[in-house]
Amino acid sequence: MNALEDLEHRIRQCLDGSVIGLRELTRALMIAVVARGHVLVEGAPGLGKTLVCKTLAAALSGRFTRVQGTADLMPSDITGVHVLDEASRKFVLHPGPVFTDVLLVDEINRASPKTQSALLQAMEERQVSIDRQTYRLPAGFLVIATQNPHEFEGTFPLPESQLDRFMMRIDVGYPAAEDETRVLDRYGTIAAAPANPPAAGITAEHIEAARDCADRVHVSAELTGYVLAIARASREHGQIALGLSTRGVLALLHAARVAAGLRGSAFVTPDDVKLVTPWVLPHRLSLTSEAALEGRSDRELADSLLERVPVPR
């Protein structure tokens, strides 16, 4: 078992005490932790998204904070403010919820564009600027944002610059019948509640070892060419107004590298790229008005890109 597989085993041990199902989401979050990425989760309310985030923060022995997106949420409600200290007669920073290890932004698309922009610097640079002063965030700072794709009234769609900073978008559907049956069996009584997750014993050394393991996974020139061909195809597609950015290309390569390491492989294959493409690519594609009128979806166009780009032998 390599360091990546060991880290996933520890995280799954912790999650299994509280979370039932949601395997795709937990695998994506695992990849994001190792690849230093952020995750956007789309799905209906009440499917366990918040529970997964809280349990993951506990597994990583990190601090967890939650922000509820509302129309009147201000940027300072996320970053914090300077307040005059009467004793010292100096302005002292009262840090906001962004100063944490795992930040959950619930219903991010209900926050105004001005408030959404407060996260841009934090997600890209892992630091925030407040009143012309810059403050560093934890090295493992992770943003997990949720949104309900079926609600439109009172929402502000995320701009391309914000979407591109999310390494992945995971679409969470309703659970399988057997998983929902297990949920009812475990939490069906009124007194039942999710138990506190057990200590996973995960340290910063475990995460760094997993990152070193991922960096040792070989990427051939042919595989790099395959990833770049997918990017070029997205930029030249007639129904895509805005294709994959360079940041998106790096995210696709990093995610594929971690996915290969998680299955114990010493090199990345096209199948690893295909595995993570539905998470990394669709939300970065801006459809033309004609494609939207035809009812095409970003996920559908992402799948079509994989079909038209030749796979290297």
- What is the pTM for the complete model shown? 0.88
Q: Is 303 left (phi over 0), alpha (psi -120 to 50) or beta?
A: alpha
**CATH number of the domain located at residue range(s) 3-187 in this protein:** 3.40.50.300
Triad 23, 24, 30: Cα angle to 5°: 90
Other C-beta atoms within 10 Å of 105: how many? 27
CA distance 95 to 91: 12
- Partners of 135 in the β-ladder: 128
> Which amino acid, 154?
G
pLDDT at residue 207 in the model:
87
C-alpha to C-alpha distance for 298 and 248, rounded to whole angstroms: 15
Element containing residue 163 per DSSP (H, E) = helix 160-164
Q: Per CATH, the architecture of 217-308 is what?
A: Orthogonal Bundle (1.10)
What gap in Å lies between CA 262 and CA 227, rounded to an integer? 20
Q: Where are the domains of the chain?
A: 3-187, 217-308
How many other CB atoms are there within 10 angstroms of residue 58's CB atom? 21
Provide the pLDDT for residue 47: 83
Nearest-10 crossing angle of helices 204-215, 23-35: 90
Tokens standing for 81? 């403010």
Rounded distance between C-alpha atoms, residue 55 and residue 38, angstroms = 16
Q: What is the pLDDT along the chain (313 residues), one digit of tens a residue?
A: 788 888 888 888 888 777 888 888 888 888 998 999 999 998 888 888 888 887 887 788 778 889 998 888 998 899 988 887 777 778 788 889 999 988 999 889 888 888 888 889 899 999 998 888 888 998 889 999 988 776 666 678 888 888 999 999 998 888 888 888 888 888 777 766 665 655 567 888 888 899 999 999 999 999 999 999 999 999 998 889 889 999 999 999 999 999 999 998 999 999 999 999 999 999 999 888 888 888 888 899 999 999 999 998 7
What is the pLDDT at residue 214?
92
CA distance 81 to 71: 19
Q: CB–CB of 312/271 below 8 Å? A: no
* Of 265, 198, 303, 262, the residue nearest 23 (C-alpha): 262
- Which backbone phi and psi does 79 adopt, to 5 degrees? -85, -35
